[in-house]
């Protein structure tokens, strides 16, 4: 027997309820690899799946947790053997498939990535899906050429933004961090941000499609009106990696920044990334994310904390990275 956070849905009321419960190995879904999970994290999608589901959860009972790191216990796939350290992000695990909020998980071998040298399982989940996404966003900016000047990071105090800020600063870029929480200014500066931009400065809608060229690149976790606004502030040929929609899914923008300044809008998907790019991103994380900065982001948690943390992250009240010790 082992413990897991299980979400049930009442058929009559449609309401969900999450609690830690004991499960048996035969309860786990089919898959080639059984993993003894050590750590997971809390992401926005997790908040949805712990609660009403947000349309992401297909069947109940359900075990959320869109990422995890641990040790292989059994494998029918030749790529993995007992004792291997592995990490999993994406592939709709924790949404359509049972996820990492469990002391055991059984998944398809194709979904796993060997843990790179220099990272243990706890550090891997301090990175987690948010950090993996942040590295994909930085890599996309690099592939298209980061221009001179500050690199803007919106939603900078959140999971993706925190890691993106730390990575970009470590790589030698000047980072301008956007936040709606003034109290996080010192935290963002500790990650390497040299400029704090109040969210209200970019939330204000303007009618001009182009403004002064200010940013050499951008990792945007907000979307909506803020993304529309900052597109008109990018330097010529600069790129924006779009990783989130906390500010809304709409984009009230014009094509002028793309046509007159050659701005690139790069969509970043971490869920269905090909294996080779996953390995590349995790190797870059092990090399280019300063571990001391990573530790400063960490908020520890255990399985019983997850219902409350799920509600908090949906309200924007979680700072940095939550690392869930599933055995704690």
> For 159-195, how does the pLDDT look when each residue is reduced to its tens digit (9 = 90+)?
899 999 999 999 999 999 999 989 999 999 999 999 9
pLDDT at 39: 98
DSSP-assigned letters across all residues of 64-108: --SEEEEEEEEESSTT--TT-EEEEE-TTBTTTB--SSBSEEEE-
**Nearest Cα to 139, choosing from 3, 251, 289?**
289
pLDDT at 204: 74
Strands in 76-194 per DSSP E: 85-89, 104-107, 112-114, 151-153, 175-179
Distance CA 1, CA 226 (A): 48
Segments of the chain scoring below 50 in pLDDT: none
How would you class 280 by CB atoms within 10 Å of its CB: exposed for 0-12, middle for 13-18, buried for 19 or more? middle
- Look up residue 175 and give its two tokens: 């980072």
pLDDT at 12: 83
Look up the pTM and report it. Answer: 0.90
pLDDT at 55: 84
pLDDT at 263: 98
pLDDT at 96: 94
> 13 phi and psi, to 5 degrees?
-85, -20
pLDDT at 292: 87
pLDDT at 317: 86
> For 34-55, how does the pLDDT look when each residue is reduced to its tens digit (9 = 90+)?
999 999 999 989 999 999 877 8
**Nearest Cα to 165, choosing from 87, 220, 232?**
220
> For 77-91, how does the pLDDT look when each residue is reduced to its tens digit (9 = 90+)?
999 999 999 999 999
pLDDT at 316: 83
């Amino acid at each position: 027997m082992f413990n897991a956070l299980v979400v049930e849905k009442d058929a009559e009321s449609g309401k969900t309820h999450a609690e830690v419960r004991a499960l048996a190995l035969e309860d786990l879904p089919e898959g080639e690899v059984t993993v003894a999970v050590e750590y997971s994290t809390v992401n926005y999608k997790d908040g949805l799946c712990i609660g009403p589901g947000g349309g992401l959860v297909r069947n109940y009972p359900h075990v959320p947790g869109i990422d995890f790191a641990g040790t292989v216990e059994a494998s029918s796939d030749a790529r993995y053997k007992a004792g291997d350290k592995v990490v999993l992000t994406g592939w709709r695990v924790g949404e359509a498939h049972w996820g990492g909020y469990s002391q055991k998980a059984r998944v398809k071998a194709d979904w796993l990535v060997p843990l790179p040298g220099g990272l243990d399982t706890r550090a891997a989940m301090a990175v987690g899906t948010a950090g993996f996404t942040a590295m994909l966003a930085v890599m996309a900016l690099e592939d298209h050429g980061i221009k001179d000047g500050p690199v803007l990071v919106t939603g900078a105090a959140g999971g993706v933004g925190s890691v993106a800020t730390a990575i970009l600063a470590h790589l030698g870029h000047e980072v301008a961090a956007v936040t709606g929480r003034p109290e996080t200014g010192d935290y963002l500066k500790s990650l390497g941000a040299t400029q704090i931009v109040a969210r209200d400065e970019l939330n204000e809608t303007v009618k001009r499609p182009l403004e002064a060229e200010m940013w050499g690149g951008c990792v945007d976790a907000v979307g909506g009106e803020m993304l529309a606004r900052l597109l008109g502030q990018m330097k010529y040929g600069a790129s924006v990696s779009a990783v989130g929609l906390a500010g809304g899914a709409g984009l009230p923008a014009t094509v002028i920044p793309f046509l007159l300044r050659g701005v690139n809008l790069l969509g970043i998907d971490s869920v269905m990334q090909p294996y080779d790019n996953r390995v590349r991103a995790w190797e870059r994380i092990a090399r280019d994310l300063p571990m001391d900065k990573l530790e400063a982001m960490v908020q520890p948690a255990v399985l019983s904390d997850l219902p409350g943390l799920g509600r908090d992250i949906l309200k924007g009240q979680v700072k940095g990275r939550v690392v869930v010790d599933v055995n704690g």
